[in-house]
Structure 1
């Protein structure tokens, strides 16, 4: 077994870190703002969506392990152009999403500790890229420690704040009606994409197909408990008019003034966990895309299981820098835009992935699960609205690059 292979424990840490992410810092506030106390229904609905989607990706990854993840599944099910499009959706979303996530964490740290947000964001991005550069096993071990601390801190926020709950905070329950719940679900999509990230690491699991499945089941249980606890407790304790830093407020109510620096630590842990997992998955995806002609072939090096795809990793760094420096720092682009654009891309990846599973998995329990996940995923995709233009543009770019590489390869053969 290669020394870089990961086991169920590492995989669980990577999955939990990917799905929790920095959204836990701001999304309870944004969801409550959109739907009032009824935001808990949006949380519950998306948790229900996560079960068939996560189990479907685990089944696909166990049966067809490959660094291309959803792109490889789409290619097997629908052909090479579909693989290129799905791959570009994920690969193109990562520089946007990781920068947005790092800045969310940075702004939270700035609010609680006074450290400049952009400086914190740069530190998080450098740490994630550095951890992946030294090897996936090192990255996974670090993730286990960080996720363990993160889960403990989130649990502490819920347990210590819960005694201060006030039932009156749940009335009126749905001041904005069904439209408000739908709006909250659109915002919360950022907190529930992430299950597809593990599919890019499926070939790295060293314990066979059971490793990925076990990691997914454990991650589902952990995330369900944490999301349910935070969503209900935040409304019960803070009310629908909670401020923009609900986790900090909950810890301060439950623990006292010492909670502010603790919340700064939580922000860094949440953000690093998500960025680390997405960088790991996207680096391997880039090598797989280059192998299959959807990126220049030069980036394919290092894509074999147990290797580190330095060239693809370097491309991600290059793509992330302008997202951080140019539009965000100089023009002050709204983070909400970046988060929603990322969600639209990853929601499209999820929908294509579960649709591929319907076609590829054998008849029985796994295919039935995939059918349920596909129906729910395409319904959730509609919540992305106008932001679906981002995956549409990336799809066009993917087709153009694929055709250009095909023409170049044909001329070379001649």
Structure 2
């Protein structure tokens, strides 16, 4: 008897999961980094990225309602281009969350460690705690997990909104002149950096089978998250430039300087908690989506069948989480022991996400009705993602190498299977 997910996600949980996936540590760092790179004109970069995200979200919303599957983008690739394309896309996901989650946890733990002056061991313990909590919350069930995420995201949004309000009276008109001190070329350069702040929308697609009213609530969740994320990003970018805090503080501490104007010595503790909460929210949603993807591929026979089981009580792909948790912790500890550069490591899963967006948009071009709004959105988003991918440098070689290895493995597996049948 085939197991099925429990349909108990509403638009509130869906919105929280999506916002949590998109908002990460970048919200604390990127407004200042972008301002340092381009000056006040970086506001246009933020606005353009927000606008360009719209067609991407429209396509994902349409695909997830037409083809609701825990496989997400892998399922769309399979539907559009065949079984092997779906299998390769699923394998690409294996190079994301297991490595990205521990790195994100370490970044979040750093904020708390920086405030309390903890050493590397203390920071690692906090990061391990974040991973354990994310695994346990997702193991317990998507309804419980979504409610936890909703509370976390509401806290993050409230704190960021309060930061914007506190700094707004300090905004000075002269801070916006000259508007483009380094010319207009940096607008495009900054957009390639800001792309990482707009990754995460695809994770809701993996939860499509668990929505109570998928056709209505997935679109609603994506629309709400799109509005909330863009308003918070633009608001933070505006006050960061208007107060001139990016000229006085390092990128990592600029939000602290922003908050000090309104909240004094509380600023450091607030930023520390924000860093942990923002990174945890991202880890939480990505673990939820990744576990569903692996379960879906196991159900389709592409991954070991052992992963294709749901928990009898909670209805979650618990076996994936049982493996994902320890593996992520091992990656975290390995990075600590070898003193690996996390800023470079995080770019590897990042390059895969751009490649996955390109695959999703290409699938949209193939699957969506020609001459429809979503069809044209797929073309536009695909072209934009390809352009951004070209700016990823040598790290852009990683997704094709992983895809090639997956293709060879898939080909060998088919040969073995055919040999067994003929024998």
TM over 0.5: yes
> Do the aligned partners of 2:245 and 2:257 also contact (CA within 8 Å) in 1?
no
Deviations 1:7-36 (A, max 9, x none): 111100000000112221222233233333
Is 1:270 matched up with 2:273? no
Deviations 1:118-164 (A, max 9, x none): 22211111111111111111100111111111111010011111111
Q: Which moved more, 1:401-410 or 1:18-27?
A: 401-410
| Larger Cα-atom Rg | 2
Following superposition, the deviation at residue 83 of structure 1 comes to: 1.4
Q: Call closer, same or farther: CA 1:257–1:411 in 2, change over 3 Å.
A: same
Aligned to 2:39: 36
Is 1:288 matched up with 2:291? no
> Do the aligned partners of 1:12 and 1:218 also contact (CA within 8 Å) in 2?
yes
Q: Which moved more, 1:400-409 or 1:115-124?
A: 400-409
Deviations 1:327-383 (A, max 9, x none): x21232223212322221111111110111111012322222222222222222222
Following superposition, the deviation at residue 114 of structure 1 comes to: 3.2
Following superposition, the deviation at residue 318 of structure 1 comes to: 4.1
Aligned to 1:245: 253
Following superposition, the deviation at residue 247 of structure 1 comes to: 2.1
* The one of 348, 365, 376 aligned to 1:358: 365
Aligned to 2:320: 312
Following superposition, the deviation at residue 94 of structure 1 comes to: 0.9
Aligned to 1:332: 339
Determine helix, strand or coil for the equivalent of 2:391: helix
Aligned to 2:225: 219
* The one of 108, 112, 137 aligned to 1:109: 112
Is 1:210 matched up with 2:216? yes
Deviations 1:181-235 (A, max 9, x none): 3332222222111011111111111113111011111111111111111112112
Q: Distance in 1 between matches of 2:104 and 2:271?
A: 16
- After superposition, the CA RMSD in angstroms is 2.3
Q: Distance in 2 between matches of 1:66 and 1:152?
A: 33
Aligned to 2:193: 187
Q: Distance in 2 between matches of 1:402 and 1:287?
A: 18
Q: Call closer, same or farther: CA 1:283–1:408 in 2, change over 3 Å.
A: farther
Aligned to 2:153: 147
List gaps (5 residues or longer) in structure 1: none
* The one of 168, 189, 196 aligned to 1:162: 168
Aligned to 2:263: 255
Determine helix, strand or coil for the equivalent of 1:92: coil
* The one of 81, 93, 96 aligned to 2:96: 93
Q: How many residues align?
A: 413
Following superposition, the deviation at residue 106 of structure 1 comes to: 1.2
Is 1:15 matched up with 2:18? yes
> Do the aligned partners of 2:32 and 2:237 also contact (CA within 8 Å) in 1?
no
